[in-house]
Amino acid sequence: MAMALEQKSDRHRMVSDSEVSRQLLRDGLERRVAGQLSVMVPVGVIAWLADNLPNTSTIWLLLGLQCIAQGAIAVTSQRLRKVLESKPFPRIRHNLWMFAEAAAGAIWAIILLYIGPIIGSSDAALTAWITILVSMTVSVLLAAPIAGIAFPLLGGFAAAVVTCALALGFPLSNFSSPALTFMIAGLFVIIKAINLQAHKSCRAQIEVVRLSERLEQELDRTSWLSRHDSLTGLLNSAAMKEHIATLAGRQIAVMLLDIDKFKAINDQFGHDRGDSVLHAVGHCLSETLANAAPEAIAARWGGEEFLVAIPQSTAIQPAAIAEQLRLAIAKLRDENWPTELTVTASFGVASGTAQAFSDLFKCADAAMYVAKAQGRNRVVCADSDTGADAGAEPIARVA
């Protein structure tokens, strides 16, 4: 438990720029297909106006290329999404996606420049212009939190405008020149501002999530410590009593065991070695009971005393299980222990109903002291009105 908490706490560190960028990219990929649906609106509008625009076949060709570009965006973005968490980062797929975004922006620019000369004399041309400008603006602003999307999209648009207007001699009207210039320049500035704000917000969200996870871990740790002994990992006495209370009406066997001569172990080998013995015994109880009696619950009762509660069935023989535990403890060895350090335990066993736990405990405690008096490292089953173990012959009995 402690190791798991330590590993989790290692993740509570400063949020890096790459983590923020990847989170924004992940969010953008999840929204990109839905965002592409808005692109079909200007395509549909221009297709509807195509009969009133010059050289209809060229317009239809450009619209077809735009549809192909949007299809390429959908395919490349989804393929990138599937491998986004892989290492190293899938740079080729990312670049293909960015190229498709840039191509989509360039095609819009070519359509604008192609119909630009007739703005003012054709309502269809003006409507198409406004539709594309609005669509480009909306698309860029939606993609602005992720510069990797917005900049290629607007960059492709700007590159196509400059290339077609200057290198290819596409004419620009008095209306279109300032409109394109202000739109491109303004959007670049806005994209940068939105992107910076998005990075700050995303960083804050990641930090909040990490803080919430850390608080949840601390709550889990506190809850675990309130019910368990931190040294052995077993339940503590309060949690054991709560567990036994849930077994009301059922027959149970109670085993109380005490590590023999534990004070001498502490005095001779030191308290650190004593703690390691307690830890080893706790682990031994858990491991042995997991095989011998899976329903059994073990607890560190206090000091060097441990308590085991077993809901009884006809197949369970408490004395036999106690003997398995005694033998397992007697075999405990550790490479860090001195060769002269040996561990044994004395057991007292009592059986009865869960409601009579107080009486059962007294009987088991008395039986354990008899085991101590008889030479230690043995199991004693108690005779009591609460219900002695009827199915197993005790190793010794309280007189």
pLDDT for 372 equals 95
Among 162, 193, 211, which residue terminates a domain?
A: 211
Query: Are 248 and 202 within one domain?
Result: no
Tokens of 356: 């009579």
The amino acid at residue 214 is: R
Residue at 217 is within a domain: no
Among 211, 227, 262, which residue terminates a domain?
A: 211
- Residue 287 makes CB contacts below 8 A (sequence gap 6+) with 328
Residue at 51 is within a domain: yes
Q: Which residues in the chain come in under a pLDDT of 70? A: 1-13, 31-37, 119-120, 147-148, 166-176, 313-315, 383-399
Residue at 54 is within a domain: yes
Query: Are 144 and 266 within one domain?
Result: no
Residue at 229 is within a domain: no
Query: Are 207 and 241 within one domain?
Result: no
CB 239 within 8 A of CB 228: yes
CA–CA dist 395, 373 (Å, integer): 14
Query: Are 190 and 301 within one domain?
Result: no
Query: Are 51 and 189 within one domain?
Result: yes
Residue at 227 is within a domain: no
pLDDT for 391 equals 36
CA–CA dist 376, 178 (Å, integer): 99
Query: Are 85 and 197 within one domain?
Result: yes
pTM of the model: 0.56
Q: How many CB atoms lie within 10 A of CB 251?
A: 15
Query: Are 180 and 80 within one domain?
Result: yes
Residue at 221 is within a domain: no
pLDDT for 34 equals 62
Burial class (CB in 10 A: 0-12, 13-18, 19+), 160: buried
Q: Which of 144, 164, 155, 26 is nearest to 98 (CA)?
A: 155
Query: Are 137 and 185 within one domain?
Result: yes
Query: Are 175 and 247 within one domain?
Result: no
Domain containing 320 equals 237-381
The enclosing domain of 278 has a CATH number of: 3.30.70.270
Strand partners, 352: 252
Query: Are 161 and 301 within one domain?
Result: no
Query: Are 184 and 252 within one domain?
Result: no
Query: Are 348 and 207 within one domain?
Result: no
CA-CA-CA-CA dihedral for 19, 21, 27, 32, to nearest 10:
-150
Q: How many domains does the chain contain in total? A: 2
Residue at 157 is within a domain: yes
Residue at 397 is within a domain: no
